[in-house]
Amino acid sequence: MWCRSAPVDGFRLAYDRFGVPGAPPVVLLHGWPGNRHDYRHVVPLIDDATDVVVPDLRGFGGSDKHEVAVGHFYSASAQAASVIGLIRELELGPVVLAGYDVGSRVAQSVARMQPDLVRALVLSPPLPGAGDRVLSATAQGEFWYQAFHQLPLAAILIDGNPDAVREYLRHFWTHWSGPGFTLPDEDLDRLVSDYALPGAFAASIAWYRAGAGLVAQSLSELPPEHAIKIHAPTDVIWPQHDPMYPVTWADRLEHYFTDVALHIAYDAGHFTPLECPRQFAELVLIRS
């Protein structure tokens, strides 16, 4: 059932709700360039045992896309505020909070800002601990888009242009996926119909313009002895074939989480909810 949340900072979130009312609550957070439908294969695997809420984050899908100061309204903490508001509005109590890509960072922010609302986390990269490894030539060859998204030129070239949106999104869904996964044309069509609306692409990259991308965050990352650690039990699904986040970058997880377990998704690329939905769902159910 498609719904709209009460506003937080003037932003309403679109969300779907599935499953069993009163069952253990689960909130699933999507990535870029995606939307709440990224979890279309996970939800059917968990909705007979959980109460599942799947929102579009600020600037995505059916959620509000206000043209405001991005550093204040589209940052990780601002996105987390909307998720916290939704959890409270629906009276979900402590939830299993799962996310990948942007959704992973937002979930981590929720766990730090409001730990009493998080029963457990299920996360895929990005995770803390990359540090200055993001400055290697190989990493910079992958993270070029985050600097590009800072430029007004990105929106000028792509926003509102369906052909440009299609080719830009196709690049990432092809390059970031594992060797056995191809996004079906009809699914790409649905994403393009969303991202090609006037203002939609510009809103989707407000996350990066707010300085919330991995490169900026890694370079400002606090050393472990000063970091605010996450205490919620955390399962990390690290894909073997994600070109941005090599598995070797999982070596510092225990510096930032007090209770963390690492699981390798051997056949998956970046889009774990779609590439390894069963593994993702099993960890959500275990923590529910």
DSSP structural state of residue 230: B
Element (H, E) at 206: helix 206-209
What does the pLDDT read at residue 248? 96
CB-based contact 123:98 (threshold 8 Å): yes
d(CA 240, CA 26): 25
CA 185 to chain centre: 22
Torsions phi, psi for 238 (to 5 deg): -105, 115
CB-based contact 262:236 (threshold 8 Å): yes
What does the pLDDT read at residue 17? 97
What does the pLDDT read at residue 219? 64
What does the pLDDT read at residue 1? 61
Residue type (1 letter), 25: P
What does the pLDDT read at residue 227? 82
Number of domains in the chain: 1
170: exposed, middle or buried (Cβ count in 10 Å: 0-12, 13-18, 19+):
middle
d(CA 121, CA 106): 11
pLDDT tens for residues 37-62?
Answer: 999 999 999 999 999 999 999 999 99
What does the pLDDT read at residue 223? 77
| Closest alpha carbon to 182 in 248, 271, 93, 49 | 271
What does the pLDDT read at residue 177? 98
Q: Cis check for the bond before 223: say yes or no (omega within 30 of 0).
A: no
CATH number for the domain spanning 130: value is 3.40.50.1820
**Along the chain (288 residues), what's the average pLDDT of each consecutive run of 10 residues?**
91 97 97 98 97 98 94 95 98 96 97 97 96 91 95 97 98 97 96 97 96 73 81 98 97 96 98 98 97
Task: Provide the sign of the torsion angle of the four alpha carbons 205, 206, 207, 211, taken in this order.
Answer: positive
Q: Indicate left, alpha or beta for 24 from its phi (over 0: left) and psi (-120 to 50: alpha).
A: beta
**In 3-state terms, the chain is what percent helix, strand and coil (to 5)?**
45, 15, 40
Residue 210 in tokens: 């707010």
For 234, the domain range is: 3-287
What does the pLDDT read at residue 256? 95
